[in-house]
Structure 1
Amino acid sequence: MTTIDVPEVIDRREGPYGEVVLRRHGELLQIIANGCFLMDTSDGRSERLLVDAALDALTGRFQPSVLIGGLGVGFSLAHAAANPSWGAITVVEREPAVIDWHRSGPLADLSAEALTDPRTAIVEADLVEYVNETCATFDALCLDIDNGPDWTVSDSNENLYSPAGLASCARVLNPGGVLAVWSARPSPEFEESLGNAGFHQVRTEEIPVARGVPDVVHLAVRPG
């Protein structure tokens, strides 16, 4: 008899934006939002590239500050905190369940050291609202929200990639600061939107995957 490999639900909660689920599938942990797969702990290459590409573009800055949009499974935070070149690291996450899973749940193994780093601050807030309202500024914005500009699970996240959302991102960036946006697929339309929003040096870096279209990181610089 064939055994069916069914993911095990570890925690299921009704959050402020709908249902969020943490489940285990073999050795992997997976986050599901409103029935849609968001991410898992299988790789992390694209999340690390998101952070590294932003830092590489900030040549000559001593311990630049970074805002990471979306805690997720913690790859971006852990990678940033492991690099002493970064200064202050602020993570904005809107789902309290995700924050709990990192502070005292199964995802703590990935992020415990980063969370205790004195440079790290976790902010429970919707990223769109945060960039619209905060008085803080950053040298880099590393955004891993939903599945990217062209494929959002939550309709409200579309606002982040709109002209108004990109204007808010530019506002919280210091002159010469870098915007890095993860996407599950390339988006020439989003590249055009970045240029229309006044960003310079717009480019896209691809992360090859085993099958299908590559993940990408869109990069753009706020003029000095």
Structure 2
Amino acid sequence: MHLSPDQAHPPTPETVDRREGPYGEVVLRRRGEDFEIIANGCFLMDTSDGRSERLLIDAALAALPAGRPSPALLIGGLGVGFSLTHAAQEPRWGRIAVVEREAAVVDWHRAGPLARISAGALADPRTELLHTDLVAHLRESGERYDALCLDIDNGPDWTVSEENAGLYGPAGLAACRARLTPGGVLAVWSAQPSAAFEEALRNAGFTEVRTEEIAVARGVPDVVHLGRRPDLPA
């Protein structure tokens, strides 16, 4: 869940680490018992509630054709580690690759405060952590996956960096489709529903397009947009 908890008197946040990188500023803050990631001044996610990150993984697995053995999964965005950790707890997944472009986020998981969430998943022999840009990996890699679970920025209609906006357009969705095996599933997390993105998925050749919701304390729900690559090449 990527919205701050609705608390009457939230603890004052404490900055744990602040980095300037090629994509701008990224900050790790502690608020009480929870950690928050802030990118270019915009709240991205925290450790207060991982329901929508778990839905991202579970919905993708449920949408795969029945009987597919050891499906390969690509997670776009390490974040606070909830998606990766949940995937590693599911024995049906085969190879699990997670792409993260921010060196600071990788450091926070490998030897920092977020290791308490992800250490077991990163040690799983199925897991591969790729420190690279997701858009570049999708366009340039020859790897194929049965499921792509993307949790980048705050979704198609609310991107923190201009570089990520292309992921949700025709070229980015074509790259996603190319990285999927026939019948493979694309699952995209968003901080709000997007009818325009559903239409973009259909225009990019995805079928069985739908949206699953996770209710939040206030405001619009978090959602996961889903689409399948056709079983036979179009």
State the partner residue of 2:93: 86
Deviation of residue 4 (structure 1)? 8.6
Written as runs of structure 1 = structure 2, the 5 A alignment for 1:37-186 is 37-58=43-64, 59-186=66-193
Q: How far apart, CA to CA, are the structure 1 residues paired with 2:33 and 2:177?
A: 39
Q: How far apart, CA to CA, are the structure 2 residues paired with 1:4 and 1:97?
A: 25
Letter in 2 for 1:32: I
So what's the TM-score if we normalise by structure 1? 0.98
Q: How far apart, CA to CA, are the structure 2 residues paired with 1:170 and 1:36?
A: 29
Give the match's secondary structure for 1:64.
coil
Gaps (5+ residues) in structure 1? none
Compared CA separation, residues 4 and 207, structure 1 to 2 (3 A): closer
Deviation of residue 27 (structure 1)? 1.0
Give the match's secondary structure for 2:192.
coil
Letter in 1 for 2:122: L
So what's the TM-score if we normalise by structure 2? 0.93
RMSD: 1.0
Q: How far apart, CA to CA, are the structure 2 residues paired with 1:111 and 1:217?
A: 22
Q: How far apart, CA to CA, are the structure 2 residues paired with 1:68 and 1:4?
A: 31
Letter in 2 for 1:8: E
State the partner residue of 1:210: 217
Q: How far apart, CA to CA, are the structure 1 residues paired with 2:21 and 2:35?
A: 19
The number of equivalent residue pairs is: 222
- Percent identity of equivalent pairs: 71
Deviation of residue 16 (structure 1)? 1.8
Gaps (5+ residues) in structure 2? 1-8
Q: How far apart, CA to CA, are the structure 2 residues paired with 1:12 and 1:6?
A: 17
